[in-house]
């Protein structure tokens, strides 16, 4: 089973830009994620093809189960 934190932002053109981090800590809180996402925006750490990231859109932890057949 794989776990991934997916963070989505709106950029200057109002398009969605997402980034993912593998294996987030199990006790991650919404407040911690919000703080990090706000810091990414304020510090202008990342840029997208649609310009700077300007707002938090969403964040979610995605868990995937892979059943190998061969």
**Residue 1 in this model has a pLDDT that exceeds 90:** no
* Residue 59 confidence (pLDDT): 98
Q: Residue 3 has what DSSP assignment?
A: E
Which range of residues forms the domain containing residue 10? Answer: 2-64
* Number of domains, the chain: 1
Residue 70 lies in a domain: no
The predicted model scores a pTM of: 0.88
* CA pair distance 66, 27, nearest whole angstrom: 23
Residue 65: both structure tokens together: 């189960």
* Residue 54 confidence (pLDDT): 97
* CA pair distance 11, 31, nearest whole angstrom: 21
Q: What is the pLDDT of residues 2-54, one digit of tens each?
A: 999 999 999 999 999 999 999 999 999 999 999 999 999 999 999 899 999 99
Burial tier of 50 (Cβ tally within 10 Å: 0-12, 13-18, 19+): middle
């Amino acid at each position: 089973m794989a776990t991934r934190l997916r963070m989505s932002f709106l950029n200057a053109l109002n398009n969605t830009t997402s980034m993912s981090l593998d294996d987030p800590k199990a006790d991650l809180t919404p407040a911690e994620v919000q703080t990090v996402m706000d810091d990414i925006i304020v510090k202008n750490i990342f840029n997208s093809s649609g310009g700077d990231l300007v707002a938090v859109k969403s964040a979610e932890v995605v868990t995937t189960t892979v059943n190998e057949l061969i």
